[in-house]
Structure 1
Amino acid sequence: MVLRQAHHHRRRMGKRSSNMNCIVGVLVLCTIAFQPAHIGVSGLKDMHIKVPEAVRVGDTVTLACDYDLEQVALYTIKWYHHGVEFYRYVPKESPPSLVFNLPSIEVDIYRSNSREVTLRNVHRETSGMFKCEVSADAPLFHTEIRAAHLLVAEVPEDNPVLRTEVHKIAPGANIRANCTTPGSFPPMNITWYINDSKDLPKFVHIEESINRYDALPGLESVRSTIYMRAAQDLFKNGKMKLKCTATMFHLYSKDTQTELIEEAPLMALVMVSTTPSNDGVNTFKFSSATKIRLYLCNYILIYMVFKVISR
């Protein structure tokens, strides 16, 4: 009786184990049968956006979006300016390019495609954040976004203006010079050079300010003032070259320079002692410059006496 029950229990457990194996097998088959087709299929990768750092007002600018779809087809490309879509490319549609009008964006549709969008006649309002959105086709519809900033600059033609209080400097005197840039957007950077070196001495002090004028709406002028004392080692052969350079990205780089002359100290009257005379008394002789001054003084004195007598 006990043996019969044990045998019956083993038969039941065997059937249950067999049923479990069948269930697991069915699940495996279902997993394989219904596995998504995109498993093992390549997709969107290596996506990069290329936007110039800065351009001039009125330029034509091409924005690029590079990507690798490998074996997957492209579904759509979308371009955004400050989060608002302005260009779309859908290869399955005809025509594939679609432009959405924005006040600050002028798309050249004939020079825009699945990887580039070209903007004509850009202006300051075109500046800002641009985004490129790439979507792969079914079954993944894998989507990625990249963003970059574009600056549209107002670039002047004029050189910076350099002014100094005086051009002849007495030794040890204070020197002050101003460098002012023409109006621009954005404001420029100013670099000072002394004798063609921008490594300035520690006692040199520089102050900068940005000025805005009603006559130049939206433009800014930079005024840089340099202060120093006329140290002797700043002058080479009695001269010092002072230069200021104004730059703005790669769009503008111009300089203006001037030359400061070290003023020699006034020559004092010099009397040179000679050897003692025969009578033991030292005699003196004047230098040539002193003799000229004495002659002039005598001439002026005689002239004044003559004027008084003739009255």
Structure 2
Amino acid sequence: MNYWMILVIIGLTFDGHQVCSLIVTDINVPGIVDFRDNVTLSCSYNMGGHKLNSVKWYKDENEFFRYSPMMHPYYMKFPVEGVELQDNKHLCNSSICQIELGTLGKNSSGVYRCEVSGDAPHFKLTTKEANMTVAALPTNKPLIAGFQNMYHFDEFVTANCSSDYSSSPVILSFYINGELALPAELLPRQEITFTAHDYLLRRQVLQINFYVNGPRFIHYRKILELKCVADIPSYPHLRLESKETAILTHDQNLNNQMLLSTGERSASSTSVLAISILVLRLALSIIFIQTQTFS
């Protein structure tokens, strides 16, 4: 009697373990995406011995996609504002359900949830969700302007950097020979805005001014590197940067000396030529006078 009771308890315990093992193991929803791109959402799950009944996708609690392998049709779509499913761009099975969205816009931002349910007799349910923001993101590197290709030590440098237009706030930073520029070397940031595609687009402009001297240039004796970095807070993978380099010369008066030396040589050559012409004229005059005398 005790033997059969033990078997029943073991059976119930094992069955309960099976019920509890139905989980969503991972949901892949990007935190931020550009409105010009398509985006792929995926949901992975472990059925743990259960039979899959359905996988449902929701945006802000509104169902827009369903996969039901035991029904026909297998796939169903439901209209939800901001959600545009791409035709034949879905793949679902007993372990993963992947879909693709396109024609994104501001209304596409929201909370996306994957819900997985098992079939009879347990009808267990498990979900996981993630937030996605759709924005107009910068696609071009920041632009550095006003930077020359050659500077002398102790020379004053001025340049500016402009970010690409973005609906998300962009922070610009300057680096001089790998070191972050000092606040005193920067002018207050300027912002240019305009509206497009239902977004308020912003462009940041940052100007830098500094002298080529100090410890930053000890290890860069012949090179001046200026780098501009455009960051979107909370999304480090969206960092964009540009670099410009210039040649540094130690002798600021080298070119002037070369020009002065060239000028002096030219003046000296001119003087020699003038004297030679004068001597030639005197010689011709003497010859002419002697000729007239003998005649």
TM-score range, shorter chain: 0.5 to 0.7
**Secondary structure at 2:88 match in 1:** helix
> Structure 1 residues 39 and 244 mapped into 2: Cα distance closer, same or farther (>3 Å)?
closer
1:242 aligns with 2:226: yes
Q: For residue 39 of structure 1, report the CA deviation from its aligned partner.
A: 3.9
Structure 2: distance between partners of 1:129 and 1:208: 37
**Secondary structure at 1:111 match in 2:** strand
Output the amino acid matched with 1:244: C
Name the larger-Rg structure: 1
Structure 1: distance between partners of 2:147 and 2:181: 20
Structure 2: distance between partners of 1:180 and 1:82: 37
Q: Larger relative contact order (C-alpha < 8 A, sep ≥ 6)? A: 2
**Secondary structure at 2:117 match in 1:** strand
Q: Report what 2:89 is aligned to.
A: 111
Structure 2: distance between partners of 1:46 and 1:90: 17
Q: For residue 136 of structure 1, report the CA deviation from its aligned partner.
A: 1.9
Structure 1: distance between partners of 2:15 and 2:67: 24
Q: Report what 1:224 is aligned to.
A: 206
Structure 1: distance between partners of 2:125 and 2:188: 47
Q: For residue 70 of structure 1, report the CA deviation from its aligned partner.
A: 1.8
Q: For residue 213 of structure 1, report the CA deviation from its aligned partner.
A: 1.7
Q: Per-residue CA shift, 1:66-90, capped at 9, x if unaligned? A: 1111211122222122232211223
> What stretches of structure 1 of length at least 5 have no aligned partner?
1-27, 268-287, 300-311
Q: Per-residue CA shift, 1:184-242, capped at 9, x if unaligned? A: 233445443323x2x33768655674724236552121223334443244444465221
Q: Report what 2:246 is aligned to.
A: 259
1:142 aligns with 2:131: no
Structure 2: distance between partners of 1:234 and 1:69: 59
Q: Report what 2:176 is aligned to.
A: 194
Q: Report what 1:60 is aligned to.
A: 38
**Equivalent in 110, 131, 151 of residue 128 of structure 1:** 110
Structure 1: distance between partners of 2:18 and 2:248: 76
Which moves more between the two structures, 84-93 or 36-45?
Answer: 36-45
Q: For residue 65 of structure 1, report the CA deviation from its aligned partner.
A: 0.9
Q: Within 5 Å, which residues of 2 pair with 1:1-311?
A: 39=16, 41-42=18-19, 43-45=21-23, 47-108=25-86, 110-112=88-90, 113-114=92-93, 115-156=97-138, 158-164=140-146, 175-195=157-177, 197=178, 199-200=179-180, 205-206=185-186, 209=189, 211-214=191-194, 216=196, 217-235=199-217, 236-237=220-221, 239-246=223-230, 250=237, 253-259=240-246, 264=251, 292=264
Query: RMSD over aligned Cα, in angstroms?
Result: 4.2
Q: Residue 142 of structure 2 contacts residue 230 of structure 2 at CA under 8 Å; is this kept in 1?
A: yes
Q: Per-residue CA shift, 1:94-142, capped at 9, x if unaligned? A: 2132211123111135333351222133334323321111122233322
TM-score, scaled relative to structure 2: 0.63
Q: Residue 227 of structure 2 contacts residue 241 of structure 2 at CA under 8 Å; is this kept in 1?
A: no
Q: Per-residue CA shift, 1:23-77, capped at 9, x if unaligned? A: xxxxx9xx98xx8995454440352111234443333322111111121112222
Structure 2: distance between partners of 1:206 and 1:138: 67
Q: Residue 144 of structure 2 contacts residue 161 of structure 2 at CA under 8 Å; is this kept in 1?
A: yes
Output the amino acid matched with 1:100: F
Q: Residue 241 of structure 1 contacts residue 260 of structure 1 at CA under 8 Å; is this kept in 2?
A: no
Q: Paired residues, what number? A: 244
> Structure 1 residues 152 and 137 mapped into 2: Cα distance closer, same or farther (>3 Å)?
same
Percent same amino acid at aligned positions? 24
Q: For residue 182 of structure 1, report the CA deviation from its aligned partner.
A: 1.9
Q: Report what 2:288 is aligned to.
A: none
Q: Residue 159 of structure 1 contacts residue 256 of structure 1 at CA under 8 Å; is this kept in 2?
A: no
Output the amino acid matched with 1:108: Q
Structure 2: distance between partners of 1:247 and 1:166: 25
Structure 2: distance between partners of 1:123 and 1:107: 13
Q: For residue 159 of structure 1, report the CA deviation from its aligned partner.
A: 4.0
TM-score, scaled relative to structure 1: 0.60
> Structure 1 residues 201 and 185 mapped into 2: Cα distance closer, same or farther (>3 Å)?
closer
> Structure 1 residues 36 and 162 mapped into 2: Cα distance closer, same or farther (>3 Å)?
closer
Whose strand proportion is higher, 1 or 2? 2
